């Protein structure tokens, strides 16, 4: 005979609802802090009607358990629920539901914990208050961690316990000292060491340097360089992950670029998808095994923090209708189901959110029936979990196209190459070409030795400026240089600074000042491995090279695409300038460009590179 108990707990927290939600919704972290649930393994199979079934096995205290893991339900930031259905052991089901409300800058959380069992031992655990103690322990854990939850998802200061042995800590300290003395420490090595020592396992299994930099309020670029160098020193390991476009989960991670698969199958969504180097290929890190061996598995997969882009996930039975209050900012959203099937993309203007109607094979967006609320309909014959997800770009993703355009990565990870014959598409990149004007006559005037010294100094000068502004020097060709930047603003800053300062390179007389020609263009291209390094090819590269040929020296030739993308900081560079046109050789189509003389324009170069 099945017995059930409900435990109701009310908690009031002196914090806003969003901060409380970040902690409460991160059930993976909460379970690790509590220590009752051990990491568990999940096997996903596709059942009838394309429904993905999660079979889990792990430990609850001393007991080995098997259960069916749900996908969870939530409406950010007001409601969440989870349910596990056990196949063996003492328990039959274990569920948690939480409703959040806010008043006077405080948040009230009403919990309902539900436990059911059939065995006498399950009844004994209830009688002696074990279920009640576990429930209240979760509530206390949420309350105690809210003050630390400043930035999700990296709440690394929530636990201060050291995890390293003295010998391991000393070895780490020695390696970090070496890094700090080099070019890539940036004064951040001590903080990284403390993080690796005290952070939770859930933070270390997938370290995202951009998220950590945001949490620490430090330069993103500096922290990425530190992580890459720490990998080279054996402190960290790194891997490439290809995110599913629906759930943003990953499968088939690769240690090297040449191991990246072209096509992947997501078990959770039961769909196939392709890698997209600019959008779904991400570089992540974890500690080396000698430093922090991490447990296999997860502490919880059902919490909202597991898929932060999903703002609503609500299960409906066949022919069920639900009316909910929804609080979402204007933006780009996708309506779909957890189960594989159709999807609809919408642009939400912040007024009434459209109703969502699903059937067994379709998803529709309809005019809202009730102002201020949203109605979910399941018209099908099978249960469906409706999803509303944010389609905004993931600002914390260190995507592949950015990584390979970093000078530090190219220098520190020369083994990271694509397979011969493989190529990856890059959505947008900024290419700069430079060339020395009159270098042949320079050799005649000052002699080979002096001229060669000037040319060598000019290469070093360009490399420093390109690196300073977060670009990468791809190759030199005679006296010419090709560089790449993931951010066109950094490329423009570098170009302006180069042309303003290159005349400082002299052989001794003013007539031997170096005059540099420079052209730049922005657009898509492909990356391939050639001659043992990553290179860029395509029309964008060709046009950048041809625009450099239009340069007269001391000027910057920018394409129309770059001119249209200039920030306010740079807009004054082309203010009042007339556009010019050319038909570059090999392009055969008229191209519009602008000619900028930085020394004659009023715009000032920013004090430093943009992070």
State which of 89, 119, 148 marks the end of a domain.
148
Residue 578: predicted pLDDT = 85
Shared domain check, 324 and 281:
no
Q: What is the pLDDT of residue 148?
A: 63
Total domains, the chain: 4
Does 556 fall in a domain? yes
Asked whether residue 53 carries a pLDDT value surpassing 50, the answer given is: yes
Cβ atoms of 301 and 205 within 8 Å: the answer is no
Confidence of residue 244 (pLDDT cuts 50, 70, 90): confident
Compute the average pLDDT of residues 579-601. 85
**How far apart are alpha carbons 430 and 562 in whole angstroms?**
9
Can you say how many angstroms the Cα of residue 304 is from the centroid of all Cα atoms in its chain?
A: 17
The parent domain of residue 95 ranges over: 3-148
331 and 264 assigned to the same domain: no
pLDDT at 569: 65
**pLDDT per residue over 490-516, tens digit each?**
999 999 999 988 877 765 554 556 789
State the pLDDT at residue 439. 66
- DSSP 8-state code for residue 515: -
User: 425-435: string of b/e by CB count within 10 Å (b at 16+)?
Assistant: ebebbbbbbbb
The tens digit of pLDDT for each residue in 333-355 reads: 999 998 888 899 999 998 889 99
**Which pLDDT score, from 0 to 100, does residue 513 have?**
64
**3-state secondary structure (DSSP) of residue 360:** coil
Structural domain contains residue 206: yes
Q: Residue 273 forms beta bridges with which residues?
A: 264
Angle between helices 220-232 and 209-216 (to 10 degrees): 130
pTM of the model: 0.89
- Write the CATH number for 34: 3.30.530.20
Q: Is the pLDDT of residue 19 over 90?
A: yes
Average pLDDT over residues 55-72: 85
pLDDT tens for 160-214 read: 688 999 999 999 999 999 999 999 999 999 999 999 999 999 999 999 999 999 9
Q: How many angstroms from the chain centroid is the CA of residue 474? A: 25
* 137/170 same-domain check: no
Token pair of 549 as six digits: 């040929």
The DSSP result for 387-406, as a single string, is EEEE-S--TT--BHHHHTT-
CA neighbours closer than 13 Å in the CB half-sphere of residue 223? 24
The pLDDT, as a whole number, for residue 158 is 46
Q: Is residue 436 a contact partner of residue 516, using CB atoms and an 8 Å limit?
A: yes
Residue 438 predicted with pLDDT over 80? no
What does the DSSP assignment read for 71-111? --EEETTTEEEEEEEESSSSEEEEEEEEEEEEETTEEEEEE
In the prediction, which pLDDT does 156 show?
A: 43
Whether residue 515 is found in the same domain as residue 558: yes
User: What phi, psi does 227 have (nearest 5°)?
Assistant: -65, -45
Angle formed by the axes of helices 488-501 and 448-468, nearest 10°: 150
In degrees, to the nearest 5, what angle opens at C-alpha 102 toward C-alphas 98 and 105? Answer: 135
Q: In what order do the strands lie in the sheet with 363-366?
A: 321-324, 374-378, 355-358, 363-366
- 255 and 337 co-located in one domain: no
306: Cβ–Cβ under 8 A, 6 or more apart, which residues? 27, 28, 72, 300
Place of tokens 């998808």: 273
Q: Would you tell me the crossing angle of helices 130-145 and 120-127 to the nearest 10 degrees?
A: 60
Give the pLDDT score at 150: 43
Give domain status of residue 314, yes or no. yes
Domain boundary among 115, 131, 148: 148
Whole-number Å distance between alpha carbons of 87 and 60? 13
- Assess whether 260 and 161 both reside in one domain: yes
CA distance 202 to 308: 15
Among 127, 148, 169, the domain-final residue is 148
pLDDT score, position 506: 62
Residues 571 and 468 in one domain: yes
436 and 566 inside one domain: yes
Lowest-confidence pick of 147-161, 262-276, 295-309: 147-161
* Residue 305 is assigned to a structural domain of this protein: no
Is residue 608 in some structural domain?
no
Asked whether residue 36 is assigned to any structural domain, the reply reads: yes
Comparing 37 with 558, the larger pLDDT belongs to 558
* Domain match, 372 and 340 both: yes
Q: Please give the residue that has the higher pLDDT: either 421 or 200.
A: 200
pLDDT score of 514: 76
Q: Is 371 exposed, middle or buried (0-12, 13-18, 19+ CB in 10 A)?
A: exposed
Which pLDDT band holds residue 64 (cuts at 50, 70, 90)?
Answer: confident
Phi, psi for residue 481 in degrees, rounded to 5: -135, 140
Residues 164 and 17 in one domain: no
Choose the weakest-confidence range: 209-223, 247-261, 569-583.
569-583
Which DSSP state fits 29? H
Cα separations in angstroms, 364 against 337, 352, 386: 11, 16, 11
Based on the domain organization, do 277 and 357 belong to the same domain? no
Residue 302 domain-assigned?
Answer: no
Average pLDDT over residues 103-120: 93
Same domain, 339 and 250: no
In a domain, 330, yes or no: yes
Cβ neighbour number for residue 607 with a 10 Å cutoff: 6
Lowest mean per-residue pLDDT among 78-92, 206-220, 466-480, 573-587: 573-587
- pLDDT, residue 152, reads 42
Burial class (CB in 10 A: 0-12, 13-18, 19+), 256: middle
The tens digit of pLDDT for each residue in 473-490 reads 999 998 899 999 999 999
The CATH number covering residue 580 comes to 3.30.70.1230
Residue 100 has pLDDT above 50, yes or no: yes
């Amino acid at each position: 005979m099945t017995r059930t108990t409900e435990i109701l707990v009310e908690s009031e927290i002196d914090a806003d609802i969003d901060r409380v939600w970040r902690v409460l919704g991160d059930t993976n972290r909460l379970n690790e802090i509590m220590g009752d649930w051990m990491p568990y393994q999940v096997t996903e199979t596709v059942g009838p009607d394309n429904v993905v079934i999660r079979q889990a096995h792990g430990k609850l205290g001393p007991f080995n358990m098997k259960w069916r893991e749900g996908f969870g339900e939530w409406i950010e930031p007001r409601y969440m629920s989870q349910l596990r259905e056990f196949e063996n052991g003492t328990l039959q089901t274990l569920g948690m539901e939480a409703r959040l409300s806010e008043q006077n800058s405080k948040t009230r959380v009403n919990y309902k914990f539900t436990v059911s069992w059939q065995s006498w031992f399950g009844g004994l655990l209830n009688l002696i208050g074990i279920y009640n103690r576990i429930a209240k322990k979760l509530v206390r854990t949420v309350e105690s961690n809210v003050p630390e939850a400043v930035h999700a998802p990296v709440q690394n200061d929530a636990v201060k316990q050291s995890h390293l042995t003295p010998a391991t800590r000393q070895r780490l300290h020695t390696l970090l000292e070496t890094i700090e003395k080099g070019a890539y420490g940036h004064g951040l090595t001590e903080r990284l060491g403390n993080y690796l020592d005290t952070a939770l396992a859930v933070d270390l299994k997938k370290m995202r340097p951009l998220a950590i930099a945001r949490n620490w309020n430090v330069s993103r670029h500096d922290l990425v360089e530190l992580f890459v160098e720490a990998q080279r020193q054996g402190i960290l390991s790194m891997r490439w992950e290809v995110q599913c476009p629906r759930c943003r989960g990953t499968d088939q991670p690769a240690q090297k670029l040449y191991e990246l698969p072209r096509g992947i199958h997501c078990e959770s969504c039961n769909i196939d998808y392709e890698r997209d180097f600019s959008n779904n290929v991400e570089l992540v890190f974890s500690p080396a095994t000698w430093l922090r061996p991490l447990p296999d598995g997860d502490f919880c997969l059902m919490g909202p923090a597991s898929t932060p882009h999903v703002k609503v996930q609500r299960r409906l039975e066949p022919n069920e209708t639900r009316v909910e209050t929804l609080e979402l900012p204007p933006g780009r959203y996708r309506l779909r189901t957890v189960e594989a099937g159709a999807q609809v993309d919408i642009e939400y203007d912040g007024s009434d959110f459209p109703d969502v109607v699903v059937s067994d094979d379709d998803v529709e967006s309809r005019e809202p029936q009730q102002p201020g609320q949203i109605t979910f309909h399941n018209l099908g014959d099978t249960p469906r979990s409706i999803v509303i997800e944010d389609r905004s770009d993931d600002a914390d993703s260190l995507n592949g196209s950015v990584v390979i355009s970093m000078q530090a990565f190219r220098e520190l990870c020369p083994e990271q190459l694509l397979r011969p014959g493989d190529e990856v598409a890059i959505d947008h990149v900024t290419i700069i070409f430079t060339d020395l004007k009159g270098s042949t006559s320079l050799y005649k005037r000052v002699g080979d030795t002096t001229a060669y010294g000037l040319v060598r100094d000019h290469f070093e000068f360009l490399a420093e400026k390109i690196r300073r502004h977060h670009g990468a020097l791809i190759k030199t060709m005679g006296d010419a240089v090709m560089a790449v930047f993931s951010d066109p603003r950094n490329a423009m800053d570098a170009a302006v600074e180069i042309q303003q300062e290159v005349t400082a390179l002299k052989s001794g007389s003013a007539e031997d000042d170096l005059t540099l020609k420079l052209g730049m263009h922005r657009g898509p291209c492909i990356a391939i491995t050639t001659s043992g390094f990553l290179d860029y090819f395509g029309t964008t590269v060709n046009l950048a090279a041809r625009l450099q040929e239009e340069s007269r020296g001391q000027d910057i030739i920018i394409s129309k695409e770059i001119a249209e993308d200039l920030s306010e900081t740079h807009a004054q560079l082309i203010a009042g300038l007339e556009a010019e046109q050319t038909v570059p050789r090999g392009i055969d189509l008229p191209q519009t460009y602008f000619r900028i003389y930085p020394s004659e324009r009023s715009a000032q170069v920013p004090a430093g590179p943009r992070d």
